[in-house]
Structure 1
Amino acid sequence: MGATTSIPNTINVNEIIFNTGLSKRQICSLWTRFYELDRDARGDAKGYKGYLDADDLGRVRKFDENPIASRLIKVIFDDFGSNGKLTFPQFVDFMSTFAQRKRIGHNHDRRSSIQTTTTTTKTDLESIKYSSDDSERTRKIKFLFSMYDVDRNGRLSKEDIQEILKMMVGKINDDEASIIAEKVIGEFTEDQPNTTVTLENFEKTLHTLDFNDKMSLKVLK
């Protein structure tokens, strides 16, 4: 990539602005961060590859203290990357999930993914994909949903929740994890037995929670 902290001319900044709604200043700040994270196999030589891999994200300070760090990295690369790589536009697309401003390149009203799913009769897998029509809140909800959807089938099951619990808590037996997972699923499904949670259920339950600020980054405000 060369020893420069300036965004290369090969990257279309205007297109990124159009797709994400971020300002040029914000994108330049993200480039600095991207450049610092992009290292060689030894963790040296900034701006080495021109993309990020799982090792680059794993070197983020205090990331190794997060019990679900490996899950977070997997979701980032599955949802935003390609072939185990995260290019700068993909990195910005991911980071824009934690912005508060609307995306300005498209017609973004504040409709929820519930309405989108209902009017277009999308499948479970289609409904969880990020769309240019997503509001900033909907993108955050979809990201949270993806974190829990371990088998990536577009629905949250008791087994999905159990897997996340084991990552977060560590030493927890199957019976305890099962009981907690059933209670969590019950919160989203009104205690209906043997049910799974759709994105619609998930969003309906979270609609009263004001987590937009808590899931926003200062650099993107």
Structure 2
Amino acid sequence: MGSIVSRLLSRLLREEEIEDIEEIKKETGFSHRKITHLYRRFTSLDKGGNGTLSRDDFHRIPELAINPLGDIITNGFFPEGEDQVNFRGFVRTLAHFRPIDQDNEKNKNPSATEPLNSRTNKLLFAFRLYDLDRDGKISRDELLQVLRMIVGVNVSDEELGSIADSTIQEADTNGDGYISFNEFIKVMKNVDVEQMMSSWFLR
């Protein structure tokens, strides 16, 4: 069965992408079957047919169009300063949403590269969604912007400001007025990351 999926995938992919498949499997933990499924999804979104996706391509995804955080989630697919993402980048981003392999988490080799779907990498992905200017810290203004997107006009600016202030106060252990990634990890220690990162994209 695996060889049939491999042959199908080889027919679907451009020649230069075929040699990357084994690397993509190792990097992401996805099977050939899942990579084939994601490649079909990718090509259906690639309206220009040029092997990359733009932000406009993501905006046509109905689930993102109705999600108040759609723009922020879309930004998570694009490296800083880039306005296109190729198939490999697309799959690498989606790998953050794979369920955590609990055996690997317990027995991981400290010198090994952490998988993209590890708890730490999931939290880093989530942190970057809040870190809108990508400077490595979450400011009060960034937190306010994201909160505003989540709740819309249902909560007053005053209430949102109060939520942002109390969140920063609780998380900001070094007193610099920002939330660093290490502080973010501490705040999220009791959060069910699997639920937070569950994704319709991988179904």
Tell me the TM-score range normalised by the shorter chain: 0.7 to 0.9
CA contact (8 A) 1:22 1:220 kept: no
Identity among equivalent positions (%) equals 28
CA-CA distance at 1:216 after TM superposition:
3.5
Residue 90 of structure 1 pairs with residue 89 of structure 2: yes
| Structure 2 counterpart of 1:28 | 36
Alignment CA distance shift 1:68-1:101 (3 Å): closer
Matched, 1:189 2:188: no
Is 1:211 the counterpart of 2:193? The answer is yes
Distance (whole Å) between structure 1 residues aligned to residue 142 and residue 200 of structure 2: 31
Whether 2:82 is the aligned partner of 1:100: answer: no
Look up the match of 1:133: 114
- Selected match of 1:15 from 23, 32, 40: 23
Q: Which sections of structure 1, spanning at least 5 residues, go unmatched?
A: 41-47, 103-107, 117-130
Aligned positions, number = 185
Output one character per residue of 1:75-118: Cα deviation in whole Å (capped at 9) or x when no partner: 32136xx631110011110110111255xxxxx9277xxxx9xx
Give the structure-1-normalised TM-score: 0.72
Amino acid at match of 1:178: G
Please name the residue that 1:68 is paired with: 69
Deviation at 1:69, TM superposition (A): 1.3
Bigger helix fraction: 2
Which residue does the alignment assign to 1:57?
58
Q: CA, structure 1 residues 218+83, in 2 after alignment: closer, same or farther (shift >3 Å)?
A: closer
Q: Does 1:164 align with 2:146?
A: yes
Counterparts of 1:145 and 1:70, CA distance in 2: 15
In the aligned structure 1, how far is the partner of 2:201 from the partner of 2:66?
23
**SS of the residue aligned with 1:98?**
coil
Question: Of 148, 151, 156, which aligns to 2:130?
Answer: 148
RMSD: 3.0
The runs of 5 or more residues in structure 2 that have no matched partner are 1-9, 102-106
User: 1:148 deviation in Å?
Assistant: 0.9
Note the C-alpha offset of 1:133: 2.4
- What secondary structure sits across from 1:164 in the alignment? helix
Cα displacement (A) at 1:144: 0.9
Report the Cα offset of residue 193 of structure 1. Answer: 6.0
